Structure 1
Amino acid sequence: MMKVILVDDEIFVRKGLLALIPWQRLGYEVVGEADDGEEATKLIERLSPDVVITDIRMPVMDGLRMIGNIRDNGGYAPKFIIISGYSDFKYAQQAVRYGVQDFILKPIDEDELTVALIRIKDMIEEEHRGKSAPRVDFDAALLESWYSGAVNEEMASVTAELLDIRQDKEYCCILVERNNIGFGQEREPWAIEQMSDLKRILFEAIAPDRKAIVYDAGLSAFGLLTTQGAPGDTVQEWEAFAARMLWATPQELRPNMRLYVGKPGMGVAGVTESHKTAKELVQYKFALDGQSVISYEEASRVSLKYKQSDAKLNAELMEAIEEGKELAVRAAIDKLFEAFTVEKFAPESVQASIAQSVLGITKIVRELDGDENELASLKAMMQWSNEPKTAFGLKSMIIAFVMESVAYITDKRKYRSKGGIQKVKQYIEAHYHENMSLKSISKTFYMNPVYLGQLFKKTYGVYFNDYLLEIRITEAKKLLRQTDLKVYEVAERVGFCNPDYFVTQFEKVEHKTPTEYKNSLLTKK
């Protein structure tokens, strides 16, 4: 376990940090607290922590003075993370000279501090193994704050100076995104460590050729700000550079990686614009499905569509789900995802289309008196957009959800059909005189018409239409025997709107017309 000391003159900040971070899961143990730099110096000498998290402004001895004294003494020196407010940003240059590894602006963000702790742990372990590590030190922290919008224009100018951003150099931001990690796992230490390993691999692949700053862009992505050998290199050369980075990635990870090559630019403005365009390229992930490297030039030729998927496609999927036909389900999903790429859907449109399908399934479940919350994969399906997914990853996810739903719906229908089919039969016997069809009955009982017809035949050995006709003809014969109603009146009483059709069906069953049937009764008398 890595040892940590917390230094802040406000006790509620220290206690807040204790509660905010899952220290043990990250491989850390908080071994001490101090409320000023002088007390912290004594703790550091006694406990030899691996990491010290300290505020800048404190009474007696502030954080920077404490760090400077420890560095100047030439003895044991831990890694430092400083916490500061906007007004303390002017001390950044001094912090760089002291070799501070990271800084975090207030208010403290859990994810930001978690990532900082993981990467410093990784840095320490790499140092013990004698390996190089990406520049995830103060340079990265400065760049992250710049890109997050946490610094104002004046602070951005200072940041550019500290990062040695030159106006005569071309810079390019390449955003590296890890997809399909799995719902709810993005905060797991192993997932963050996997990203650290990936950053190190790519850093080692490019470090011999050029300067690069590796910075975090969330829990599932990081960026590289780098320079080419000379200004004015073509977009194709930057794409080729990104492709080489991809091939440096372990083979098993490549299918889930996406690299977004921002627009190269000169100096400070170029650094900002390249990062902005790299982030925007994420919107083209589904429209350019299958491409691991996406550049701003290629995306500029694509017009994203903000629309709902074809209602017919969703209807096909719902019908296949209700009928429990796995091949038809997969075919419908294939069509849906093909539309995402062919019609160049924006991520928001993909999300809306998936939501439409999920809601359609939950509606079917409820109509069968089921509870959609019993579907184990529903939660992940409702929140899939919270973490990066490729089209393949999303498609695999929705197939798993739909197949679970099909099995659930089938079970519910079987359970319901045990008593439900008898209710259908009773309904037919009570409402035979009304305008009735298999389709109208299926809507009444929230059942698929094909399935209902098959179940009725299997249970009673007769098709629905034949059974309905049998009841109507039986009742018609009764009316012909017991009343003086005209043939057209009898037809209307037993559910036939067309008297001629009634005569045809009566003759089909009894081999004589209604009139002939009634006359035969008179002859017998």
Structure 2
Amino acid sequence: MRFKVLLIDDEPGALEGMQLWIDWERLGFEIVGTCGNGAEGLRSIGELNPDLVVTDVNMPLMDGLEMIESWQKNGDRKISFVIVSGYSEFDYARRAMRYGIAHYLLKPIEQDEAEKELQAAYQELLQEYEEQHISQIASYEETVSLLKKAAMEEPQSVADLTVLERLSASREAWNFCLVQCDPPLYAPSRETAASLVRNQDAMYLVDLEMHCFGIVYGYTPARGDENEAWAILTQLSQSYSPYRVFMSTGAGETSLVGLNSCYKTARAAILHNFYDSGYAEIKKYESVGNHVFQYHYDQIRLMDGIIGAMNLLDISGLEDAVSSAVQSFREMAMAPEIVKKIVIHLMYKIMEYLQGLDGEPASSLLEKYNSLLSGLSDAVLLLEDLMGYLLHCGKDTIDLMLQEQMRRSQGIIQEINEYIRGHYREALTIKMLSEIFYLHPVYLGQLLLRKNGISFNELVHNLRIEEAVALLQQNRLKNSEIAEQLGYSNYGQFLKQFEKRMGVSPNEFKNRI
């Protein structure tokens, strides 16, 4: 700890000697100024705010003791003094005792003696500083405790109300800024706010339950300090912007006795952060107070869309269902807690599919999403991020189910291809195949594409045109008869597929034979 010191002496040589002969930095002091008489010293004390003043007593205009007496009567803070005088000026020393001056340096100043005296002065200043600091902390904590009781509408004594009214009188209006943090971020978020609020007038940090804290702040609109308070809150929100933190302010009150109303309205406002595009935007109650949330939602349509997509292993259908739900929640202004309950329920339904799968990948996914769901109720989340969890859970589960289905179906892919080669002349479709082999049509199409390198339809057309070439070379059937025999419902379709693969029409092909 370093204290500021002011040196006062009418002799320039004495001032220079004190600066050079004494190691002020080692003793814990920093010289902030020098003066040549008591009148000048009085002005410098007010401007420089030193902790210690070392002053000669015998000076023109105003001697050192007159300066000390004037400061002790009219000054706005306590200052420690060390006086410097000669052996013949004992009367000054005796008068100094009346002003509580305990430290006295004799001229000519001896370095060792001066350092001992200054060390003692330093210890007194340090002890006084620590006592004041402890007192300030205790006073601040008592105030914060009282403000928390007021915000939470806990019973208060007459003495408590009196203190609140006295504290209220320092500002014309008061409000409450609520800060809600994602649980892992609570400690660093609170520390950031505490460091920012710590030295601000009429600003107090109040700890609340459920990973929340509040900032009680006062302002006087006529002085414009409401803008100053808002600037500090905005600075805080900007420091939180990359993180999952919600902030809101309530409706202002003229007295801290009404702080519970500020707190309640801030709680109402913070729910609206759920529909924001980013975190840590400060939601003002005055801008959202008239907006009403809905608490009833028909889940059947959403449930059918999600579960239907899961049954069909249809990621595109899942994405559509989730996107539609996001739009519906926004349009209806569904209460965030209701949306969370719906999403949590859906994720548990999706995870039932994982429970039917064996192996480490399924176990890992179950562990991952069980861990996520355990903290989802308390998590600070935007709607988009919450629905993102639902979508990722569904996608991860479908991917794993597809992998499992592929693993199980690898053995029958040859059988499916043989069936196609035996029935390509018929009106064969992927849906018919899926019913014969008990596979989802989307998955079956993907499986054939991976195995054959071409789609199911391309494979069927290739087989048909391959046989058409052989029949044309025999020149026994009409072109229309060949098309009908190969399963084409009309000649135009046969002609299109033949030209696509052979580059010429069936007639041109026969003419080349």
* TM, length-normalised to structure 1: 0.48
* TM, length-normalised to structure 2: 0.49
